[in-house]
Amino acid sequence: VQDQQVITRKRLRLKPARWIAAAVLAAVLAAAGYEGWLLFAQHRRDVAAGQALDAAKKYILVLTSVDANAIDKNFTEVLDGSTGEFKDMYTKSIAQLRQTLIDNKAAAHGVVVDAAVQSAGDDKVDVVLFVDQSVSNGAVPTPQMDRSRVKMTMEKVDGRWLASKVDLP
């Protein structure tokens, strides 16, 4: 009987220790899960930022390179790579812009000098690009260099990164 009382006392002393250990383990696992979730969310933003930056660099070349002999192809590519506010604005100005470029025999070629992500979410990324653009036309056939800073908002639409806003500050 005395041995059984000793065993019962030991079990009673161990129960609180077990509950405390279980609570500490649960807290550690919860914290690790939360940290893992934060890490995964950051990873998703980093992937989105990289994809959007690559798309923005390619798109700015389409936007800043113009050949009066292939103007319709260029406009189609510009519209294909855009969405939202920018696509609406560009669509409204195509007719006038097309005629101006053809009348002036305009040509331009853009080169990305540098680019960086300003802010990133899972499906919306703001990018800043520094672009050198050589521009010539019928009146000034020797190409002139134009250096621009462009802020572009890229949005993921149906799995593609498209320009939704383009600013030339």
Sign of torsion over alpha carbons 81, 87, 89, 91? positive
Task: Specify the pTM.
Answer: 0.80
- What does the alpha-carbon distance between residue 69 and residue 98 come to, in Å, rounded to a whole number? 11
User: Residue ranges of the chain with pLDDT lower than 50?
Assistant: none
Q: What one-character DSSP code corresponds to residue 74?
A: H
The two counts, helices (H) then strands (E), for the chain are 3, 5
- What does the alpha-carbon distance between residue 98 and residue 89 come to, in Å, rounded to a whole number? 14
Give the pLDDT score at 22.
86
- Our CA angle for 161, 45, 157, nearest 5°, is 25
Give the pLDDT score at 114.
97
- The string of pLDDT tens digits covering residues 4-53 is 665 555 655 567 777 788 889 999 999 999 999 999 999 999 999 999 99
